[in-house]
Amino acid sequence: MIVARTIAETRGALRSLPRPLGFTPTMGALHEGHLSLVDAAKTRCASVAGSVFVNSTQFGQGEDFDEYPRDEARDFPLFEGRGVDLVFAPSPAEMYAGGFATGVHVSGPLTETYEGASRPGYLDGMALVVTKLLDIVQPDVLFLGEKDAQQLAVVRRFVRDLDLPVEVVGVPTVREPDGLAMSSRNAYLTPEQRAVAPNLYGALLAGRAASGAPAASPKDVVVAATTALLTPALPLDEAERVAALRGEASPAAPHFDLDYIAIVDADTFQPQTTLAPRSLLIASARLGSTRLIDNIVLSASAYPAKNATTGKEGPNGHGQRQRSEEGPRA
């Protein structure tokens, strides 16, 4: 695997790699979710490039830019072991030279709601770095995780708007055995928080189950998911019961602070008033200072049971792997 630190090195080395070229951008701290992007790229492309770059422009003030885990000595062998041909791992100065003054902004609800509202600047910073990375690597196919559904929708939007010559492929969310979506930030969770973290996915499953009821409305689905998330799954002991009655948080039982649970169109992120094939149930909640996000497609047609074992995407391009179909196995 070629490790390229500069843009010039990367462009030079990529000239000799066979096409089509797949590309999987990451911020490192690699896990199976990232590596599944590489696997997807390997099935479609003759060569695969990855990147590892903790992008300062997509972190807001007070976010975890400084603490974000950085470990190239662990990440590079993981990429290499999955067959990545070239990793681009630039310094911040290589990407943002002195005097850097350009931005990429996708306007409208797609960037102003949900993640855009909760993390001002994140989607603009992400759009900027992905635009730069696409220009540097010039891949034929870009592989992004469906876990970051709004990010995926924003990238699809600006790739179309700017006529960038790349195909964007969404890759199903990879989960821990108990249902928690894999994320580099899961490492921040305390053991107690980690124990309840899968309830976020459990809430999405409860929402999807409610969506199957006759005449279910988006509101019914959101209520079912919210109730599932905020109702403690474990029986309360006496001290916790008293604390709950007093409206106090019990230190023994970490609880979610809900940011949003909503049903949106997967492409526009407009809230939906009726359930449709492109309906996504999206959620974000905090456990302590760690913010988790997850999403699930609602349409049963996106999960043809016969196809589940193949891991192939459903007809609307937003299918998830079979393991995503199952309830958490805590």
By annotation, the residues acting in catalysis are 34
Binding residue for ligand AMP, selected from 50, 145, 254, 314, defined by CB under 6 A: 145
Whichever of 128 and 171 has its CB closer to ligand AMP, that residue is: 171
Residue 148 lies near ligand AMP (rule: CB under 6 A): yes
Q: Among 145-153, 160-168, 258-266, 276-284, which window interacts with ligand AMP (CB under 6 A)?
A: 145-153
In angstroms, the Cα distances linking 238 to 179, 229, 254 are 29, 21, 16
Least Cβ distance, residue 213 to ligand AMP (angstroms):
29
- Separation between Cα atoms, residue 29 and residue 258, nearest integer Å: 26
Residue 141 lies near ligand AMP (rule: CB under 6 A): no
Binding residue for ligand AMP, selected from 4, 21, 23, 33, defined by CB under 6 A: 33
Whichever of 152 and 253 has its CB closer to ligand AMP, that residue is: 152
Residue 182 lies near ligand AMP (rule: CB under 6 A): yes
Q: 3-state DSSP: the chain helix, strand, coil percent, rounded to 5?
A: 40, 20, 45
- Separation between Cα atoms, residue 200 and residue 226, nearest integer Å: 9
Residue 290's beta-bridge partner residues? 287
Residues in Cβ contact with 286 at an 8 Å cutoff, skipping those fewer than 6 apart: 256, 257, 259, 292
Residue 186 lies near ligand AMP (rule: CB under 6 A): no
CB 152 within 8 A of CB 280: no
CB 279 within 8 A of CB 298: yes
Residue 320 lies near ligand AMP (rule: CB under 6 A): no
Judged by the rule CB under 6 A, the positions of this chain that interact with ligand AMP are 26-27, 33-34, 36-37, 144-145, 147-148, 171, 173-174, 181-184
